[in-house]
Structure formats: structure tokens, C-alpha cells
Structure 1
Amino acid sequence: MEGVVSLRNYFILGLSAASISLPALAQGQGQPIVAVAQIDDNAGSGQAKTLTQMMLTAIAASQKFRVIERNQLDVLAQEQNRGRSGQTTTRNGGATGGFQGADYLIYGTITTLSASKKSDFGASLGMALVSGENARPQNCYSGEVTLSLDIRITDASSGQIRYVKRIDEKKKAGTICGEGVPQVNATELFRSAADRVAAGLVTTVYPIKVANAQPDGTLMVNYGEGTLKVGDYVTVFRAGEAVIDPDTGKAIGSSEERLGIAEITDVQSSFSKAKSLIGFATPAQTRDIVRISTTDDLNAYPKSKLKPRR
């Protein structure tokens, strides 16, 4: 038996119900403000609020942004109303509103939360051999849960889309035989997706950079847990001349030189180490830009036989 099946009938999804307390504004008043504008739940998972909290937690943990929660805007509005009425004093000069103070807005849709179930022939055969000839045969099953999100992050001041991504997370369920049902803890799915949203925002606004380059090819980069993982391949680039829009006169980017590919070997809370693998005819240096390697990056070095790990 194989195919997509009902989560309610075949899988137990263990989602953490514990609330996550976040201040409306984190410390660091000079940092950009991020708000989750809207998360739609087309999959009917009932986890839009949980995902929102996880995303804001992951973004706040980067220590590069302040965060404001949508459900705190009602409280903010009540305080503003009291200030205007004279019931309380206010330090905001009578200003009103909430999202207009955000620099970046996150919009998302939970598009899929589904489970597949299929027969595990090897486990079924093993059970038959262990049980003996007269035992009643038992079918064994394994399964997998898939979570899919569509994410869009916009610049609140210009409306420009800064990051757009379809995120797919999968988690395998253990094999079970007989009348039981495979069990999956889906908390890890949602948290991994939230981490990827946070990493997408943070590295779009603040690219990963080389913080220190050592003579033996070891690189220290300025991002750690939540953004990079041990075993990730990353490509190092050197920014070139600024590219200027001829109509507006504004800088719209810069030319780049691909230097080489490195592998993340150690991940700490706020930094990571990488070892140079291939390329680097020009050695990496401080402030070079680092990105997760794409297929195109790996194909630029055909003899390396490296394959994407994400």
C-alpha cells in the first residue's frame, strides 16, 4: 500500500503547544524591524501561529533585527488610544500605527502538510521469519511527512520583494508493523522551515561574509547556528565594481568574482569555520561574500564531483 494518506488516520504529529514569549522590540534600537504580516494556512494545519512564533524566534536569535509580533498590535493600539485620550502619558508624540514602523514584512502560505504511507517489504519479511510458519502475517509500514511553504519578504518602504522562496521540509517516520500507526514529531519540520525563512531574510539583508582567512585555507565566517550546518558547501565571492542604474544613478549591485568552494566544518552560535576545497587561485580575504553553493557553483568545478547537500 502506497500513497498520500490522512494525517489524522495514520500519523500523530507532535507539535509543541508551548508559547514562546517575545518582546515586541528586541534590544538594539538601531537594527531593522521585522514583522510577520500574514501567514495563510491553506493546508489546514492549524499551525500558522506556531510557525510565526518560530520564525520570529529564529530571526531574533540572529541578533541582527528587532521583531514585532502581529498579535501585539492590538495591545499597541490600545495603548495608543489611551495616550491620545490623556489617560496615560506617551513617549511617541501621539504617533499611531504598527506595521508602518517595520522595515521588512514577511508573507507566507502553508501550502502542504501531508503524509505518505507505504509498505516496508523488508520489515514485513523479517517479521514473518521471526514469527515462524504458524504466525499470522503482519504488514509493516513506513511513512514520510512533507511540509511546504511559500514565503515572500518585502521591503516595507519600497514594496520591493527582497526574498521569495518555496520551502519543502520532509521527515521520515519509523517503521511499524501490525495495527499501529507510524508516528512523526512535526515540530522539527516547522522549526527547520522557520530557520530557513530566517536565514533567507538575514543573509539577503546582511550577506554571510568571511571574518578571517588563515594561510592554511581555514575561513571564519560571521554566521553560525540556524544559518549554516556542518557539511554545507559554500561558495566564496569577491565583490567588484558597483553597478549603477543609468536612469536613477543608484547602485543596484556589484560585479562579483567566484573564488572557490569551501566546506563548513564547525558551527558555533555566532560564527562558523570552513575549509577551502577547490578553486581559490586568488586567496579568500576578510569581507569576501559567502553563499550556500548552488548547482551552478558546483558545476563550475566539474572535476570536483561535489554534490549539493541541501
Structure 2
Amino acid sequence: MHRRTVTGIILASFLAFAAASVAQAQTATKPRLAVQSITATPAVMARAAGDGSGVKNVLEQILQAADSDLVDSLHKSGRFEVVAAGDIQSVLAAQDVQNSGLYDTSDPQTAHAFKLAGFKYIATVTVTSFQLIDRAAVIPDAMGNSTYTYETIQLGATLKIYDVTRGTVLDTASVTSEYQEETRKIEGSVQEGSFSNRMIGLAARDFAADATRIILDSLAPAKVIGFNNGTIFFNRGVSTGLKVGDIYEVRDPGTVMIDPETGAALGSTSDIIGWATVSSIAPKYSEAAAIELFRAPNIGHTIMRPAATLPPHLDASARAHGPFAPPARHASPSPAPPPAARSAPTPNDATASRDSVVAVFVANTAPDVPSDRVAVFDAQLRSTLSANGIRVVSRQEVLNAVSSLAADGTNAGTDDSDETRAQRMLSDQSSAVALAKQLGATAILSATINSLVVDVTTTPSLDRTVADYTLSASWTLLNGSDGISVDGGLADANERFRTSPEHKRIEINAVDRLLRNDATQIGKAVLQASASGRLTPSKSIATHREVRIETVLENMTVPEIKQVDGTWTVSANTYPLTASDAMVSVDGMLVGSTPGPIAVSEGTHRLVITHPLCVTVDRYVKVGDLMGSLRIPMTLSASGRDQWERRSQFFESLKNGAVLRATEMEKAAALAEFMKNSSITIDTSNVQNIGIGQPSLWVEAID
């Protein structure tokens, strides 16, 4: 007598089913699944040990046999690349032997350390209940007193499936299995062997088949692969837990359901289009007889879902008959196209990039990367670009340009290194254009070493320590003509190697290899951007306009003081003031002083004006073909205003028509001398008759 009961509680969504199937079809790559060794809880093991060594031994045999059967069944299903996680020690030992120096490492079949294939899913099976029941009875029969033995194995387990990439539980299921056999020993007969050993093998096999079926239904649901006159063909074969007579719902997937609060996909709707029962099991596929069908299944899309029972109105012996309606078309979301990957440069790319001239700026903000390793990064970048036909401005020429241009603007008053000042200049669009013009560069490549992450992991069970180095660099490619970013991104390089548990010192050789790897990635991306034609030569400064720049002191005036009948008399008129000889920088380059004229090319430029007594003006101006002059207001700085107020307080007591006494004349002369030395002059742009007819104190004292 043989009785087996399986109860599966699967908490997966149909969205996960559909996503796994679509991904597998698109990439033609099987999902990789790791299977942990089947174990029993400590409480189950303790109880088995308490029931006697024989019971514990039976449990251990079942665990070991079911473990092997589960890996074998999943492998034979053809739906996964199976990783036997329980055999990792044997795999690592084989790798160590092949990397001992005795094997040819250039042989493509030689194993290499730290190259184990990763896996997306992992399945664990834990036995939570176990009971071994052994009963015997002597019953008189026609052959005498025969001994009847009743042996029962009861198992209960929890199966969990994890998405390792996200660390989440994807599915859980409970499995209960009972296997029972009855044997008869005739009085006086001799029997060799043990029926219990046979039962152990059968119980382990069926237990593994049940687990296989649950895993397959969760990660790779059965799909219809063919249909012919009421017979459904689907992609399940032997060793997948199927048995003739199993009942299946036939379902067409529908639309995705989204949680309105979290935005998470909760699953998908599905339509039951019928029921079927398994009629035949082949090595690679199975057949199911349709009991009832509302329409023909959609090959490649319709799902076969296990069902415990049929609806009350159906009989398992019934058969559906055609003709069947064509499959309904459901609006299923199209998978998002994969992100466009940068294609490898073609031979024509190198030709297209020969007109490109790139200036390379490298910085290091990673505290764990020694500053002297920047040269390794810089050299690899230049080598990669040069080898592919791009002309590269020499490092020394680049640094010389930074030194000549970086004294003003964003770097004014700093004592930073040339590399740091260059990065600050490149963050400003107009300064970047000025650098490109100075160097005659088509583009500017700014690359920064961002971080070095070192993880040291010691696994006592494997008796090994592994250092994992990850070096990240960011890069931006600026167009030399306008300073606008053309391309950019991140480059990551990773290397792992065995080390000691006390690993603390940074391995410079490993860092250099990672720097070269990142530089090569960036260089290839720049090559592709150059070949795309998105880089344009910087505009020449030769096409310029002569612009007069007048700096007017905002809300600053002096009263008119003129000579009347031999005395200096205060008038009701006032004169505005200007700050002359202010230093003017355009796009980071010092080009002259006010009032000019200054040669500036047409277009938008960054204008920086500095004066010892004033707040620095830093603004953008647009120079057009009709522009001849530019009036820029300036205000006194706190220090400048203090100096001015201390020298001009005597104005407050002077009224129109007042005659300056000797002491006031001295103060006025001192103020005029201060204005002359500070390059503060009278704004005569709107004054027509200053100093005409009657001498002016300010004209005589300042000029």
C-alpha cells in the first residue's frame, strides 16, 4: 500500500512568473539557482536521536538522499543552471589544485580563482517534522502464522526561495509527505535485505520530486508549447514531480496590478480558460488531456497551474472537444528595452576621431588612493586615446594653461594645486571654454578618482580570507566650443584576491591595475563620443568686438566745488563717480582694465571686475555686434566704504553757497588725493561744462 499527500502553499505572484519567463526567452539564458543542502531543525534532530540511533540514521539517510535527488531533478528539468551550494568545499579545493602552478592556466578549461558563477536565486529546504513508525503483527493465514510489517515515514518541511540580488524572500511553501509500505513474511521463510532501505530511497526521491515541482512552479511556471485537438503539450518532463492524473488549471496571463501607495507590482490578473489532467509524461515534456476549454491556449504564453481539485461540475474522465475559439489577445506590458550599450569602436571610428584634440584633466578625491597614483591614471587615459587616433594635449601644457588662467575668477586667492584649480575652473562653463581656446582643444576630458572600497571577508568554514577592491571614477567630456557636457558617466573596476585576515595595507599593485581598467573604460567611451561628431572646434577669439567697459560707483557722488571770486564755493550740483583701472577678466582670462576698450568675441561671456575698494563683480554678459560700451555698477566693499566715510564726513555740514575755510580745504584736498590714488574719478559722461569758465576743485586736484 502506498499513500502520499502533498500540500503546497505558494505565496508568489503571477508577475514574478511572467517576468522570469520573459527574461529567459529574451536573453536565451537560464536563470541560475543555488540549492543549499537539505537540513533538519535542531529540535527534529534531537528527537530523532532520542528515539534511538536507528531513527536518527534513517533521517540522515533521507536528508542526504533527498539532497542529491533534488539537485538531480532540477538539473534534469532543463529550466535552470543549478549550483550545488553544499559542494562548495569540493569546488574550491579543485580550484586551488588547478591554481597551484601544476596546471596550464592558459587552458580555457582550467579553473580560475574568484570566477565562480553567481546566482540570482537560492532554495533552502528545512525538515521541520519527522516520524518513523514501525509496526508488526502475526496473523494466521493459509500459509500459517505470517508476520505482517507496516512501515511509515512521515516528513514535513519548509521550502523557501530567495532572490539573492535583493535579499528578499520570493516564495515559501510547506511540504508534507507520508510514505507507507506493508510487507509479509511467511512463517518459516528466510528473507534477505531490508525493506526499510528501499523505503528510504523511495521516500527521499518523492520528497525531492515534490520540492522540485514547487520550485519550478514558482520560478519557471509550466507553459503550453503545443496544442492538438484537445491535447495540451507543456514543458514539464520526468523528474519534475509530475504524475499521471495531476490536475492543472489552464490560464492566460492578464495585466499587471500595481499598488497605488508603494508603486510595487503585486501580481497580474489571469483568466482561467479551462482545466486539464496529465495523461502522459515524456523525458522533456508532458501531455495533458483537456477536460474543459473555453478557447484554444496561446502557445508560449498560456500557463499551466497546479490545482488540488476540479470544479464540482466537472468530471476528470470528461474530455473537451473542438473546434476551439482562437486565443484571446491580452494586453500584456512589453518589457522595457535594455539600456543602450556603448558599442565597440569600429575601424572607421578611429578615422573619424583624428581631428579631435582632447585636453585631459585628472583629479583624485579618494583618500585611500595615494596622490602619486594619479599619474598612472592620467598616463593610461592618454595612452588609450592616442592609440585610437585622438590627439592629446601634453600634461605639462595643460598644467601651464591652468597656471596662467587660474589666478582670477573662481580660483582667486587660493593656494590649491593645479589639479584642484583646474577642476574648479572646469565647473564653470566660460572658464572651460577659455581653457579650450588657450589649448586649441576640441574637447576637455575631466576625470576624477572618486573612491576605493576595500572589503576583507574571512570565511572560517572555508579557511580563507578574500580582499575585494572596487575603484570608482567619474568622468565628463566637455565640448571645447561652448563648455557644455557632451557625455559622461562612471567607471568601476573590481579585483579580488586571497590575503591574510590581518590585511590592512593597501596593495598598490592592485590599485594600479584598477586605475588602468577604469582609464581604459573611459578612454573607449570618449573615443565613441568623438567619432559621433558631437564635438566641435572651439571658436577663435579673433572674431571680436571692441567694448568700452565703464564701472560706475552706485549711489556715490561728490558736491561741485568751484572757484568764485577767488574763493572755493560749494554748488548745488553733484558729480557721480567711477572706479577706473579696475581689472577685467573675461572667461577666466585677464584681458585689461577699465574703461578699456576690451576685445571680446560675440556671444555670452563670464565677466569678472575687481577693484581694491569695491565688491567684485562676477556676472555673465552677452556681447552683440552692435555693442560699443557697457556700463557696470559697482558698490564699495565694507573696507572701502569705511575709508571713504572717514574722509568725506565734512561734506555733511556744507550747504549750497558755503565758502570753504582753510581746514575744510585741507580735508577736500586730502579726499581728492585719496580718490586719485584709488583710481576713483568723476563720471563726466553726462556732464557738459565741468571746469569751464570757473575752475573745479575736483578737476584740478584729481587730474
TM-score by length of 2: 0.34
On the 8 A contact 2:37/2:86 being kept in 1, the answer is no
Structure 1 residue 115 displacement after superposition: 2.7
Alpha-carbon distance in 2 for matches of 1:244, 1:222: 29
Q: Report deviation, 1:282.
A: 3.0
Deviation at 1:51, TM superposition (A): 2.3
Residue 77 to residue 165, structure 1, CA distance change in 2 (3 Å): same
The 3-state SS of whatever aligns with 2:236 is: coil
- Which of 301, 306, 314 is residue 304 of structure 1 equivalent to? 314
**Corresponding position: 1:165 with 2:177:** no
Q: Which residue of 1 aligns with 2:355?
A: none
Instruction: Call closer, same or farther: CA 1:118–1:73 in 2, change over 3 Å.
Output: closer
- For 1:212, the equivalent position in structure 2 comes to 226
Report the CA distance between 1:209 and its aligned residue: 1.0
Q: Tell me: higher relative CO, structure 1 or 2? Use CA pairs within 8 A at least 6 residues apart.
A: 1
In the other structure, the counterpart of 1:103 is: 120
- CA distance, structure 2, for counterparts of residue 76 and residue 142 of structure 1: 42
* 2:131 alignment counterpart: 114
Distance 2:100 2:239 in 1: 44
- Partner of residue 66, structure 2: 51
Q: Which has the larger radius of gyration?
A: 2
- Whichever residue aligns with residue 227 of structure 2, its letter is A
The answer on whether the counterparts of 1:145 and 1:173 sit within 8 Å (CA) in structure 2 is no
| DSSP 3-state at the match of 1:61 | helix
Q: What is the CA-CA distance between 1:253 and the residue it aligns to?
A: 2.1
Structure 2 unaligned residues grouped into runs of 5+:
1-26, 46-55, 318-703
- Distance in 2 of aligned mates of 1:235 and 1:29: 27
| C-alpha deviation, 1:58, in angstroms | 0.8
Residue deviations 1:237-267 (CA, integer Å, cap 9, x gap): 1111122343554544210111221111111
Deviates more, 1:285-294 or 1:140-149: 140-149
Distance in 2 between residues matched to 1:66 and 1:272, nearest whole Å: 21
Residue equivalent to 1:73: 88
1:73 alignment partner, SS class: helix
What CA distance in whole angstroms lies between the structure 2 residues aligned with 1:204 and 1:239?
15
Per-residue deviation, 1:305: 5.2
Matches within 5 A, 1:52-201: 52-78=67-93, 89=105, 96=114, 101-118=118-135, 124-125=139-140, 127=141, 129-131=142-144, 140-177=148-185, 183-184=195-196, 185=198, 186-201=200-215
Q: State how far apart, in whole Å, the 2-side matches of 1:219 and 1:112 are.
A: 38
Alignment partners' CA distance in 1, 2:194 and 2:89:
41
Aligned length: 264
> Structure 1 pair 78/142, CA: closer, same or farther in 2 (3 Å)?
closer
Letter of the structure 2 residue corresponding to residue 162 of structure 1: L
In structure 2, what residue type is equivalent to 1:224? G
Identity among equivalent pairs (%): 21
CA contact (8 A) 1:77 1:96 kept: no
Q: 1:163, 1:218 → 2: CA distance?
A: 31
Structure 1 residues 273 and 138, CA, compared in 2 at 3 Å: closer, same or farther?
Answer: closer
1:69 deviates by 2.1
Spell out, residue by residue over 1:208-261, the C-alpha distance to the aligned partner (whole angstroms, 9 max, x if none).
1111222x3211111121232211111101111122343554544210111221
User: How has the CA–CA distance of structure 1 residues 164 and 271 changed in structure 2, closer, same or farther, with 3 Å as cutoff?
Assistant: same
Match of 2:260 in 1: 246
Give the structure 1 partner of residue 297 of structure 2: 284
Q: Which residue of 2 aligns with 1:39?
A: 38
Deviations 1:138-190 (A, max 9, x none): 66342322233222121111222233222223322223356989823111111
Deviation at 1:57, TM superposition (A): 0.8
Judged with a 3 Å threshold, the aligned counterparts in structure 2 of structure 1 residues 231 and 248 are, in CA distance, closer, same or farther, namely: same
CA distance in 2, matches of 1:97, 1:217: 48
- 1:51 to 1:142, Cα distance in 2 relative to 1, 3 A: closer
* Structure having the larger proportion of residues in helix: 2
Q: Deviations over 1:2-53 (max 9, x none)?
A: xxxxxxxxxxxxxxxxxxxxxxxxxx99322222234323344223333222
Provide the C-alpha distance between the structure 2 equivalents of 1:97 and 1:247, rounded to a whole number of angstroms: 41
TM-score under structure 1 normalisation?
0.71
The one-letter code sitting in structure 2 at the alignment partner of 1:96 is: F
